[in-house]
Amino acid sequence: MARTITNFLDIQQGFLHAGPMAEPHPAARRAVIADRRPSGPPDLRGIRCTACGRAAFPAQDLGCERCGADGAALRPAALAGAGTVSAAAIVHRHDGPGIGAPFTALAIVLDDGPFVHALLDGDGSPAPGTRVEAVAAGTDDDGGVVEVRFALAERAAGGAE
C-alpha cells in the first residue's frame, strides 16, 4: 500500500495539491528540471508542441494540453525562468515533510506562457503583477537543478529586497 502525505506541496512537478496523495517515486522528485545559465535565472526544462506552439512545464510526453496532439509532437524546450505573479498565499500551517511553515506559495505565468505553481524564495506575499525569477534551490550530486523557487526579480538580480 502506498504511503500518503497530507497537504503535500509538489512544486517540482509543477502543481499544487492539497490533500492526501501517494508519495512520488524518489527518482521523480529528483529529476533535473532546470539548467543553469552564466547569468540570469535558470532555464526551465519544458516542452513545446510542434503542432500549435504551446509551451508547458514540467516536461511530459503524453500530449499537448491545448490542441491534443500526441506526445510525438512535443519537443524539449528551454523556457525562461521568469514571469509574473498571478496570485500568492502565505501558508501558516503545513504538517507535511520537507518544508516548514510559514512559506509563500505562488501562482506564476511564465514569460514563455506556461502557468506554474512554485514557492517564493524569501518572505512576504508579492502582489499580482510582481515580476519574479527562478532561482536554483536544490541540486543533485552532479550539480543539476532539481528544485526551483522564485524570487522577486530585483532580489534575484542582487538588488534591494
Smallest CA-to-CA distance from 122 within 102, 142, 139 is with 102
What are the tens digits of pLDDT across the range 72-93?
Answer: 999 999 999 999 999 999 999 9
Q: Name the pLDDT band for 7 (thresholds 50, 70, 90).
A: very low
What are the tens digits of pLDDT across the range 112-160?
Answer: 999 999 999 999 899 999 999 999 988 888 888 888 999 999 876 665 4
**Backbone CA torsion sign across 68, 71, 73, 76:** positive
Does 102 sit behind a cis peptide bond, omega within 30 degrees of 0 on the bond before it?
A: yes
Average pLDDT on 47-65 reads 95
Question: What is the model's pLDDT at position 19?
Answer: 45
Per-residue DSSP letter, 39? S
Interatomic CA distance for residues 61 and 36, integer angstroms: 23
Q: Phi-psi region for residue 122, left (φ > 0), alpha (ψ -120 to 50) or beta?
A: left
Question: What is the model's pLDDT at position 2?
Answer: 43
Paired sense of beta strands 131-139 and 145-152, if any: antiparallel
Question: What is the model's pLDDT at position 6?
Answer: 38
Question: What is the model's pLDDT at position 158?
Answer: 60
Looking at the chain, list the stretches that DSSP marks H as alpha helix, in order from N- to C-terminal side. 26-29, 153-156
Q: Name the pLDDT band for 42 (thresholds 50, 70, 90).
A: very high
Backbone angles phi and psi of 72, in degrees to 5: -65, -20
Interatomic CA distance for residues 53 and 74, integer angstroms: 9
